[in-house]
Structure formats: structure tokens, C-alpha cells
Structure 1
Amino acid sequence: MAATARGIVNPALFICDLQEKFRPAIYEYAKVITTTQKMLKAAKILNIPVFATTQQASKLGPTCSELDLDSPGGVATKIHADKTLFSMITPDVKSALPSGKLSCVIVGIESHICVTQTTLDLLALGHKVYVLADGVSSCNREEVPIALARLRGEGAVVTTSESFIFEAMGDAGISEFKDIAGVVKEFKEGTKGVLGSLCKF
């Protein structure tokens, strides 16, 4: 019997500028972190490569420690780059991308600046882009729905973390399904809280 095919081809997770110093400034920042933690656990199980950036880390600090990137037992990133560009698609990140067309899923901040410019650059390169409505935010909450509407109009898919994860699996018959179901159960209450705040616009 042939192996069960995944539902999304060549997925890649992009984590945009989730740094400690933004914690008090971003609307519902803790909820963005919760969704990102869920996506990182799913990425590890499904072997989805992770690309992460910081924005001027010397001034704005490192990525939030609870994301546990690049630590023993955590999720190894393909690249964890610092930048001054607003877009994550710096020369270093671009050179680290796998060949071929990707299905890029984005979490991070800010919705209307770095997330928007990253999405536009990835679309311009011919990749498919999923922006997680439960995984992005901005300092001003009113920016978020405007940014998501624009990105949808530009050709990105605006969806949720759980929808993306199940679409990425495509079939409950894959060997990783039980572990993914465990992640979904682990984050069940957190997901409800996130949807109730970040996705109520």
C-alpha cells in the first residue's frame, strides 16, 4: 500500500520577530506565543522546517525564551536570523530556503508591517502563503483585521492554526496523527482563548 500523502506540499513555518521586549506592547501577545508554541510542536512532529527572525536584537532583545528555539529538546530552526529589514526575506533567509515552491505559514508581529511585507515577498517569489489569524498581532489591535483583509486580497490564505495543522496532515491515516491529536488536545483551552480574542474582529 502506498504511503499516505500529506495535505500540504512543502510546508515551512515562519516565526516573525517574537521578541521579549515586544511583550508589553503587542495586543494579546501571550495569545500569539501560545499559537506559536502549538505550531512549533506540530512542526517538530510533522518535520516542517522553521525559519525565525528577530528585529534588531541588540536593541529589542532575543526571541521569547518559552518558544525554546534552537535549544536542546526544542525545535531546531533552518535559520534564526537578525535583521533590519521589515520583511523576513533577507538575503540570509532567502538563501536558506529549500528549492522549489513552498507552502509558507506565518506567525508573529506586527501584522501590518513585518508580517505583511514577509507575506508579499513570499508571494512575489511564487510561494503559497498561509497567515494564521490566531498567530499574528500588532501594537494597535485595529491594524490586524485591515492587514489580514489586505493579505487575503493579495492572494494569501488567512486561516487558523488548527485548520492549517489538519490540512497539513490531510489524512488521519498518517503515522503522526496520534501525536498531532495530542498537541491539539494539549492546547484545547488555550486555543479557545486565542480564538476568542485574536479572531473576534
Structure 2
Amino acid sequence: MFKKENMVFVLVDVQGKLARIVHDSEDLIENLRKLISCLRILNVPIIWLEQYPEGLGPTVEEVAEQLEGLAPIPKMTFSACKTEAFMDELRAMKRQKVLIAGIETHICVYQTAADLKELNYDVQVVEDAVSSRTLVNKELGLEKMKALGILGTSVEMVVYELLESADAKEFKRILRIIK
């Protein structure tokens, strides 16, 4: 199981116009906002990625405002694992469980998750917090990840998994965000 003490969250490329045109973009952005807000309350480390920010633009404001105090790692590679700064930060955290979300499911999310799995990380993808320009490509990306043994989860499922109990000190704050 994922626990707040043993995992890291990787946010992949929720940027600019692309983030606004992916399938169900409003739901994606809202789910990411909720997820990141809950993870911050639970003190789960976050690695924030941006693909070619000079071309694609910055992370959308609704998501970026949840990441105050953090800085994005720029990358040109589709798999973040091929970007040295990402791998350095991930290794420094000494956590083997990686939760991943963002866009596009079938490109950067898939390639990063697949490479992390190859590197013996335990990876889960937040299925209601990933998207692609088309639903078909989102579904293909999720299907290929599952074929590699990368399990799916949802925002609510992972947040409650991390909370473990309704008497957790963070429960009431998180409940206000999730509902």
C-alpha cells in the first residue's frame, strides 16, 4: 500500500493551451487541484514537471497555485526519467512508491511511468487526474500502463488510502476539499 511516508507524487506537464484542450480538461484540472491540495496537507513530497515551458507555457494557474514554494523541473524528454534533474530529485527522496498524474496520458505520463517501473519503482497512475487530447489516447495510455503492471487509482481512493482512518488529524481538512 501507498503511505504518506513512503511515496512521492509526480505531476506531469499540465501546461498552457494543451491543458485546456485535453479530454475533460475542467475535470482534470479540478481533480489535480484537489489531489495536490490533499497531498500538501499530508506532507507528501511532490516533483513538478514542465515539458518545454518556453513553447508550451507554464503550468495552468489553478494547479500552479497549489504548488506554492515548489519549482518545476523543465524537461525536453517525454520520459522524465531521461532528465537528470528529475532523477536526481527522485533518488534524493529515497522513496520507492510513485504516484503519477498529468498529461498527456499516452506520451509523457506513460513513458515516465514505464521507465519508473523498469527502474523498480512501484508506480500507480491517478486515472481521474490524467488526460490526453483524445479519449482514445488516454485509454490506450492507461491500457499500456496496466499491461506493465502499473495499477490505476483515483483521487479519492489514494487520498483515503493515505489517510487510513477517519480519526486522522488531517481528515476534516481533507474532507472539505474532496466533497
Determine if the TM-score, normalized by the shorter chain, exceeds 0.5. yes
Task: Report the equivalent of 1:111.
Answer: 105
1:115-170 CA-partner distances (Å, limit 9, x unpaired) = 00110121122221111110111112111122112111211111111001101112
1:48-80 CA-partner distances (Å, limit 9, x unpaired) = 11111111111111111111348xxx5433x51
- 8 Å contact 1:11–1:105 — kept in the other structure? yes
Greater mean deviation of Cα atoms: 108-117 or 119-128: 119-128
Gaps of 5+ in 1: 1-5, 186-201
Counterpart check, 1:156 vs 2:150: yes
Structure-2 change in CA distance of 1:7 and 1:172 (3 Å): farther
Opposite residue 83 of structure 1, the aligned amino acid is K
Secondary structure in 2 aligned to 1:48?
Answer: coil
Counterpart check, 1:34 vs 2:34: no
Task: Report the equivalent of 2:129.
Answer: 135
- 8 Å contact 1:111–1:143 — kept in the other structure? yes
Secondary structure in 1 aligned to 2:72?
Answer: strand
**What percent of counterpart residues are identical?**
29
- 8 Å contact 1:32–1:137 — kept in the other structure? yes
The alignment's C-alpha RMSD in Å is 1.8
1:73-152 equivalence runs, <5 A: 74-77=67-70, 79-89=71-81, 90-97=83-90, 98-152=92-146
Aligned mates of 2:145, 2:164 — CA distance in 1:
25
Gaps of 5+ in 2: none
Aligned mates of 1:8, 1:153 — CA distance in 2:
26
TM-score, normalised with respect to structure 2: 0.90
Secondary structure in 1 aligned to 2:50?
Answer: strand
Aligned mates of 1:160, 1:43 — CA distance in 2:
13
Deviation at 1:82, TM superposition (A): 0.9
Task: Report the equivalent of 2:43.
Answer: 47
- 8 Å contact 2:4–2:44 — kept in the other structure? no
Aligned mates of 1:43, 1:75 — CA distance in 2:
13
- 8 Å contact 1:15–1:50 — kept in the other structure? yes
Secondary structure in 2 aligned to 1:114?
Answer: helix
- 8 Å contact 2:4–2:42 — kept in the other structure? no
TM-score, normalised with respect to structure 1: 0.80
Structure-2 change in CA distance of 1:103 and 1:69 (3 Å): farther
Opposite residue 17 of structure 1, the aligned amino acid is D
Considering only CA atoms, is the larger Rg found in Structure 1 or Structure 2? 1
Deviation at 1:101, TM superposition (A): 3.6
Opposite residue 142 of structure 2, the aligned amino acid is L
